[in-house]
């Protein structure tokens, strides 16, 4: 059971928008910034969003992040088949003194 809760799967059609939620608590998301990672099949994770809503260079602005209270959301617009991947949220948990991840969400672009 992951400390952060994500939906196991989401799906949408090409060109549409999708959001992925990440729910935590006051000891993790409520106190610290959130990152989002994309893991394409057979590859290492790649950071999409850091510090809640910042994109590293090279990440298109179709990807966005937000945080409110103890929850965070990843948004992806103009969906492409190449966006099919597993997406993970992550942050630090002050109570555990440990890094924590969500269980991951599999995005299917129909």
Instruction: Give the residues lining the site for other proteins (CB under 8 A).
Output: 2, 32-35, 37, 39, 43-47, 50-51, 56, 86, 88, 90-92, 96-104
Helix count (H) and strand count (E) of the chain?
A: 0, 9
For the CB of residue 69, give the shortest distance to other proteins in the complex, in Å. Answer: 17
* Closer to other proteins by Cβ: residue 43 or 81: 43
Residue bearing tokens 């196991």: 8
Task: Give the Cα separation of 4 and 7 in Å (integer).
Answer: 10
* Closer to other proteins by Cβ: residue 33 or 77: 33
- What is the enclosing helix (H) or strand (E) of 64? strand 63-68
* Closer to other proteins by Cβ: residue 15 or 56: 56
For the CB of residue 75, give the shortest distance to other proteins in the complex, in Å. Answer: 18
Task: Give the Cα separation of 8 and 41 in Å (integer).
Answer: 16
């Amino acid at each position: 059971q992951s400390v952060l809760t994500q939906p196991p799967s989401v799906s949408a059609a090409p060109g549409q928008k999708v959001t992925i939620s990440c729910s935590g608590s006051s000891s993790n998301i409520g106190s610290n910034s959130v990152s989002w990672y994309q893991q394409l099949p057979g590859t290492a994770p790649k950071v999409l969003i850091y510090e809640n809503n910042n994109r590293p260079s090279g990440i298109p602005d179709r990807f966005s992040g937000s945080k409110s209270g103890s929850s965070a959301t990843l948004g992806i617009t103009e969906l492409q088949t190449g966006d099919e991947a597993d997406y993970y949220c992550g942050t630090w948990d002050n109570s555990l003194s440990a890094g924590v991840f969500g269980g991951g969400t599999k995005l299917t672009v129909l």
